[in-house]
């Protein structure tokens, strides 16, 4: 069975997020057809925060992240939960976010990566970052990472 994917097709997305935990989904809808609103409805505040941080990191205009999250996020962002899928897309994607310590163990930070803040590293196209939660990924780190990217 194929790994779950959400949002834009990871082979053509501008941004791909590799996340450690899958959300609850509506069994009557394909995973790729779930909207931002439906994910928030099914999973509550936790996934609202995850999608908000994604929007803040990927919005063209940092002041318009709310509109980006609601309207265009899944037009640019693909989400996968399987680290092995990254090998086939690294040359096709602008930025791949490897989220959380658990995945960093599977996909270690590469030599020559540039550290941003205390817990982010970048070596294009990869960004290793903390879990998408405001305790681990505060707005100051989001801003610093956006400036670096």
Cα separation, 32 vs 45, in Å, equals 21
pLDDT at position 2: 57
Mean pLDDT of the chain: 92
Pairing between β-strand 95-99 and β-strand 126-129 as defined by DSSP bridges: parallel
Report the predicted TM-score, pTM, of the whole model to 2 decimal places.
Answer: 0.94
Across 109-136, average pLDDT:
95
pLDDT of residue 1: 38
Average pLDDT over residues 35-53: 96
Q: 52: burial class by Cβ within 10 Å (0-12, 13-18, 19+)?
A: buried
pLDDT in tens, 51-105: 999 999 999 999 999 999 999 999 999 999 998 888 888 777 789 999 998 898 8
Residue 133: pLDDT over 70: yes
5-7 β-sheet, strand order: 5-7, 77-80, 15-18, 95-99, 126-129, 120-123, 114-116
């Amino acid at each position: 069975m194929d790994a779950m994917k959400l949002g834009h097709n990871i082979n053509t997305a501008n941004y791909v997020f590799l996340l450690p935990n899958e959300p609850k989904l509506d069994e009557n809808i394909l995973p790729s057809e779930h909207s931002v609103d439906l994910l928030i409805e099914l999973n509550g505040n936790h996934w609202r925060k995850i999608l908000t941080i994604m929007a803040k990191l990927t919005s063209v205009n940092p002041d318009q992240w709310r509109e980006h999250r609601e309207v265009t996020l899944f037009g640019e962002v693909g989400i996968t939960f399987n680290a092995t899928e990254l090998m086939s897309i690294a040359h096709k994607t602008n930025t791949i976010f490897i989220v959380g310590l658990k995945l960093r163990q599977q996909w270690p930070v590469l030599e020559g990566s540039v550290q941003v803040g205390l817990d982010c590293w970048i070596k294009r196209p990869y960004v290793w970052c903390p879990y998408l939660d405001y305790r681990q990924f505060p707005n100051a780190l989001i801003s610093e990472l956006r400036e670096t990217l």
